[in-house]
Amino acid sequence: MDRTAWDARYAAAEHVWGLEPNRFVVEVAGDLPAGRALDLACGEGRNALWLARRGWQVTAVDFSAVALAKAAEQAAALGLAPDALQLVEADLLEWRPPTGVFDLVLVAYLHLPEPQLRLVLGRAGDALAPGGLCCIVGHDRTNLTHGVGGPHDPAVLPTPEVLATLLADDGLEVRRAELRTRQVDTPDGLRRAIDHLVVAFRPVP
């Protein structure tokens, strides 16, 4: 989907993904001390807003102006301080984050062909400060045959092993690379979705 299609999707619903943060993001970041965070492909900002409410200074990037407008409205409704959340409208294939400054980089449900994903993840890794964490969550390739939801193109559905290799190639140390499941309410009842969760950190020199 391109920028126009995503704008239309976000305009068609009040909150496409809801207001609550992703459960796996909470699992990884819930006990971390607040610092500087980068949320790539932030959508309507549910994870970025959650981090900002916990004292993080968050830079949230997406190419959908509609989604970012919703994130800004929610930030205002929550009374967040002006420096708590910086919203950046940009295409991740063109935008480059500052190097070595973020304590947490989050990439949640960004599905791209491997060459483009390698580019984005390489920049994500470069953005980490020493000791900083990169957390990737997304629909796994096994979801095509054993789960529900997400893209139907295997070319944009990596496995934990592929993601771990991409991050390791960029000098990160992988702590977790695993499959996780969650229940999804569908017209046919509860179904299982299969996600990947990969966590890596930038070694301290």
Of the candidates 97, 12, 114, the residue with the CA atom closest to the CA atom of residue 60: 97
**Helix, coil or strand: residue 78:** helix
CATH class of the region 3-8+21-201: alpha beta
Q: How many CA atoms lie within 13 A of 54 on its CB side?
A: 18
- How high is the pLDDT of residue 1? 65
- How high is the pLDDT of residue 15? 81
Torsion of CA 66, 55, 101, 159, to 10 degrees: -60
Decide the pairing of beta strands 189-201 and 173-186. Answer: antiparallel
Of the candidates 93, 75, 181, the residue with the CA atom closest to the CA atom of residue 137: 181
Domain locations in the chain? 3-8+21-201
pLDDT along the chain (205 residues), means of 10: 82 79 97 98 97 98 96 96 96 97 98 96 98 97 91 95 96 97 83 95 95
Host H or E run for residue 176: strand 173-186
